[in-house]
Amino acid sequence: MKKYVEDLDFRGEEYVNEWTPWSPQDIRRKKGALEAARLMLNSAQTAPFAGGVPSVEAHIVYGQEELETVARKMEEIAHQKEQWKEPFLYEAVMVRDSDVILFIGNTRCHETPLDAGCGLCGGGLDCSYFYEQKNQKYGLVDITDRSSKKEIDGPLCTARVSDLGYAVGSALWTAHTLMVDARPFASIGMAGMQLGYCRNSGMVVGVPVAVKSKNPYVDVNVDYHLINMDKVLDNTRKIYQTARIIRGFDYRKWIPKPQKSDEEDE
C-alpha cells in the first residue's frame, strides 16, 4: 500500500484568532468560513426546484481586495438612487466585515422560463406577460443585447425566481445549522451582477458569510457607513498618536504618579 507523506506526518497546530484582521491566525478562521460557504452552496444546489430543472449558478468570493471591490461597487450604486443610498452604504460596511460572499444566481429566469402558465409573473393564465416584453422568436428569448436601462432586465419568470429563493433558503438553512452568520442581500447581488459574477443569471442574490464574535449583519446603528468598527479603529489611530505627543516625557527618568493624599502620608 502506498503511504503518503502527509499521512505519516499527520501532526500540527493551528492558532486561530479573529484579531488582528488578515493575520495568519485570522485567515485560518476565514478558511472555516470558506468551507461553510462551500457546504452552503451544496445545499443550494439540492434545494427543491420546479420540475427538478438545474437553473442555479454560484460564485464564492473571498479575499481583502475582492470584498473591497464588491463594497465599492455597492457604494457606487448607492449614489445612483436616493432610495438605495442608506441600505447600500450600510451593507457595503457589512461586506468589508464579512469573510466570504456567496453569490447565487438563476440562469433561466430571463431566458428559459418554466413555461407552465402559472401566472406568477403577470397574473395571467399563460406566459404572455413575459414573452410579450422580451425580444424573442418562437419562444426563444434573444439575450444577446445585454444593455439595460434598469438594474434588472425584467420581466423575469417568477417561477424561476422562486427557484432562486429556494436555493438561497437552503444555503441559509445550512449556515444556521453550521452556526455561521449569513444573510441574503439584494444590494450585494446587484453589485455582483455588475461586476460579472454569475454572469449567466438574470437575477443574483448575495449571501455574505462571517464567523466572528459579532454578527456583522444585525444590530447596526444610524449612519453605519460613517460609524462602524473600521472607522472607530481608524479614528483611534488618528487621535491616540497625537495624545501621546502632547504628553511626552522620558520614562527612564521620571513617570508621573498619582499624588498621595495626606492620610496616606500619615
Partner 1 sequence: MGHLMGIQYCQDHVLEVAKNIALAVHKAPQITGKTDVDVEIIWGEDLEPIIEVMGPVGQVMRYVKWDYETIKSCYEKGENPVVVAVGARTARSNLGWDCGACGFDTCKEFNKYAKENRGGGQLGGPSCNWKALDFSIACDWACAAAWQYRVDNRVMGSLGFALNALGFMPHMDAKIGLALGPPRDMVYYSREEMHQSMTYEMDKQDMLNCVPNLFTAFPGGGTPMYKNKDEWWAPPEFMGMAYSPEVMEVMQQVLFEQVPEIVVKHADKIEARYKDKDK
User: Which positions lie near partner 1, rule CB under 8 A?
Assistant: 47-48, 50, 81, 83-84, 117-125, 129-130, 133, 148-156, 158, 161-170, 172-173, 183-186, 190, 203, 205
| Contact present, 41 and 103 (Cβ < 8 Å) | no
Distance in angstroms (rounded) separating the CA atoms of residues 207 and 211: 13
Residue given cell 479575499 in the structure block: 63
Residue 173 or 224 having the CB closest to partner 1: 173
Distance in angstroms (rounded) separating the CA atoms of residues 80 and 148: 15
Residue given cell 504628553 in the structure block: 247
| Contact present, 88 and 70 (Cβ < 8 Å) | no
| Contact present, 92 and 100 (Cβ < 8 Å) | no
Residue 36 or 203 having the CB closest to partner 1: 203
Give least dist CB 179 to partner 1, A.
14
Residue 26 or 151 having the CB closest to partner 1: 151
Give least dist CB 9 to partner 1, A.
39
Torsion-angle region of 14 (φ positive above 0: left; ψ -120 to 50: alpha; else: beta): beta
Residue 66 or 151 having the CB closest to partner 1: 151
Give least dist CB 23 to partner 1, A.
31
Give least dist CB 218 to partner 1, A.
11
